[in-house]
Amino acid sequence: MNSLYYALYQYAMEHRADQFLVENKQDELENLRMVEQSVHALSAMNPITADHAQRIYNGLNTISSLHQEAAFLAGLSIGVELHSI
């Protein structure tokens, strides 16, 4: 993501995203709690399981971030196209 898009993305995440997450806040908190409890339980089993649990957690976080950035860029491109009509 180039620096302009990154700056816009950072602004949107810090100042605009909350209004769209309000409806799903309870689901977000419940799922975060579930994931954290599962990672903790798996991490307590043995080092190999702990490593796999952490890799899954990190991988899903990365995938989620990539999807967020893609959705932001898609929305931004739609806005630019609508503005030029």
What does the alpha-carbon distance between residue 57 and residue 39 come to, in Å, rounded to a whole number? 8
Residues 32-74: tens digit of each pLDDT = 999 999 999 999 999 999 999 999 999 999 999 999 999 999 9
pTM for the structure as a whole: 0.77
Give the pair of three-digit tokens for residue 69: 């950035």
